[in-house]
Structure 1
Amino acid sequence: MIRRAPIVVVQAGRPPAALRNLHGEQPDWFKAALCERDSPIMVVRAHANEPLPEPGSFACAIITGSWSMVTDREDWSERLAEWTRMIVSSGSRLLGVCYGHQLIAHALGGEVDYHPNGREIGPKQIKLTDSGLQSPWLRNSPPSFSAFLTHEQSVLQLPEGATVLGRSQHDPHQIVSYGHNILTVQFHPEFTTDIMRACIEHRRDKLVADGEEVDRLLHSIESLPIPKTLINAFCGG
C-alpha cells in the first residue's frame, strides 16, 4: 500500500476555553472541513513550539487562525514566519487562514495591522478578481460567494509578488496567492454555523458596545459550502 503524504495543520494558538469546550480546537475544525480528502492529517502545535515539518514531507500545510495578533511578534509566531519563508522558497504547498493569511504576508514583507475601519465579523460577500476567476483553485467557485469572517487585523499592504484573487467590501485582500504553491484567505473556510455563532456570542458584550446588532447578525448565519470546497481543492489539487 502506498502511504499518502499528510496534510499538516499548523495550529497557531488555542481558542478561548468557552469555545474549545463546545467545539474543540482549530485542528478539529479543519479535520471536519477536509473530509473530502483521504490523506492523513498531522497536527503541529506551533504555539507550543513543536517542531515544524520539513519541506517536501507533506502534501499541503495549513496555518490556522488564532486569537493572537501578528503585530505582537510572539517568539513562536516569528519562528513560524521564518519557517513560512522557507516553505515559500521550497515550492511546497501552503495555505494560510486568517492569522495564517496575515502571518504569511508579514513574513514576506507585507504590512499587517488593525484595520482602520474596525473588525469584520459574520457572513460577508467575497468577490473574485479577474485573477481569481482564472485561478485553478477557484475554478469551482462562483464569481461571488459568502464566507464567515472574524478579524480585527488585516493585510494592509501586500508584499511584492502577491496576487489578489478575491476581496470583500471591507477588506481588499481576502484571497491572495504567492506563485503556484501559496494561497491565503482572510475568511474561515473551516467554520461551521455553530462555530461562527459561538465566536459572535463570545464577543457579544464588545460587539454590543461597538453598536453591532448581535441578534440580527446571529440570524443572518446559514450554511456556506463554497469556502470549504476551496480548501479541499487546494489541499487535494
Structure 2
Amino acid sequence: MKLTILQTGEVPLPLRSRFVPYRKMFEAMFDQTGQGFSYETINVAEGEPFPDLARLEGVVITGSAAGVYDDLPWLEPLRDFIRKGYQQRTPLLGICFGHQIMADALGGDVRKSPKGWGLGRHTYEVTARPGFMPQAPSALAVACSHQDQVLVPPREAEVILASDFTPNAGLAYRNGAALSLQPHPEFADDYTVALAELRRGKAPDELVDSAVSSVAMPSHSADVAGYIGRFFKER
C-alpha cells in the first residue's frame, strides 16, 4: 500500500542539521509497523500540485508551524482536497496541524488555545476503541507540540483520545476512512526534547522543564503507530 504524505511543514531550521525531515520520521514510523508500506511525498506548502485523489491509496497530512486561520495560498486547496477525499472515502490521516485542518475543513472549530503550549509527552484517555485499536489500554502517552487545538470537533467525528489539556486529541470520522490525532507518534524522544527546548523563551521555563522531564515516562508511540498502520490496511 502506498501512502501519500502531504507535507505542510518541516523541522524548524535550527534543528535541521540534527534531525531527519518530517517525511523520514513518518516513513520510519510506518516501517516499524511491518505493514510493508511504500511512500511518496508532495510538498503542498511549497506549491507542489495536489495529487489526483482517484489514484491514491492512503493520505497522511503532516504537522506544520502554520495555523488553519493563516492567510496562506495552499490552505483552501487543502481544505477542498480533504472534503473531496472524505466524500470519496479515501483513507485520510492527519497529525497535529493535519488533525486541525481536517477538523476545520469538515466543520469543526480550531483556534489558538488559551491554555498555551502543549509540549513533551502527554497522556490521553482512550474514550473509544474503533476497530483498528480494539485492545488499546485505558490511556496512551504520546509526544506533542502545539498551541492550536480543535475546540469543537465536526459532527462527523467521534472523540477517541482526550485529556484535560486537549479534550479533542483524537478523532475517528463516521465515514470509516478518516482519522486524526493531535499528538505526534512519529516523534523520537530526542526530537521531542529538542523541540521543547526550542520553545524556551516563548513558553514558560517551568513548562519546558516539565516537557523535557516527561520523556522519562514510558511511550505508547509504537502502539499508536500500529493502530494507524491497521487503520490504513483495513481500509
Task: State the SS of the aligned residue for 1:34.
Answer: helix
Structure 1 residue aligned with 2:92: 94
Distance 1:10 1:213 in 2: 31
Q: Which of 5, 8, 11 is the equivalent residue of 1:12?
A: 8
Distance 1:119 1:213 in 2: 8
1:112-168 Cα distance to aligned partner (Å, 9 max, x none): 101121121111111111xx22x1122242121101111000011122221111101
Structure 2 residue aligned with 1:30: 26
Q: How many residues align?
A: 228
Task: State the SS of the aligned residue for 2:180.
Answer: strand
CA contact under 8 A between 2:100 and 2:110: conserved in structure 1? yes
Q: Are residue 227 (structure 1) and residue 190 (structure 2) matched?
A: no
1:152-204 Cα distance to aligned partner (Å, 9 max, x none): 00011122221111101211101101120000000001111011011112112
Amino acid at match of 2:231: F
Distance 1:73 1:94 in 2: 24
Q: What TM-score results when the alignment is normalised by the length of structure 2?
A: 0.91
Identity percentage of aligned residues: 29
Task: State the SS of the aligned residue for 2:187.
Answer: coil
Structure 1 residue aligned with 2:212: 218
Structure 1 residue aligned with 2:151: 156
Distance 2:195 2:228 in 1: 21
Deviates more, 1:216-225 or 1:26-35: 216-225
Runs of 4+ that moved beyond 4 A: none
Distance 2:156 2:93 in 1: 16
Task: State the SS of the aligned residue for 1:70.
Answer: coil
Structure 2 residue aligned with 1:110: 108
Quickly say closer, same or farther: Cα 1:23–1:140, change in 2 above 3 A.
Answer: farther
Q: What TM-score results when the alignment is normalised by the length of structure 1?
A: 0.90
Alignment of 1:1-237 (within 5 A): 5-35=1-31, 36-129=34-127, 132-133=128-129, 135-179=130-174, 180-207=176-203, 210-222=204-216, 224=219, 225-237=222-234
Amino acid at match of 1:58: L
Q: CA deviation at 1:97?
A: 0.4
Task: State the SS of the aligned residue for 1:184.
Answer: strand
CA contact under 8 A between 1:15 and 1:67: conserved in structure 2? no
Q: CA deviation at 1:211?
A: 4.6
CA contact under 8 A between 1:149 and 1:186: conserved in structure 2? yes
What residue ranges of structure 1 are gaps of 5+ in the alignment?
none
CA RMSD of aligned residues (A): 1.6
Amino acid at match of 1:217: A
CA contact under 8 A between 1:189 and 1:231: conserved in structure 2? no
Q: CA deviation at 1:212?
A: 2.1
Quickly say closer, same or farther: Cα 1:170–1:215, change in 2 above 3 A.
Answer: closer
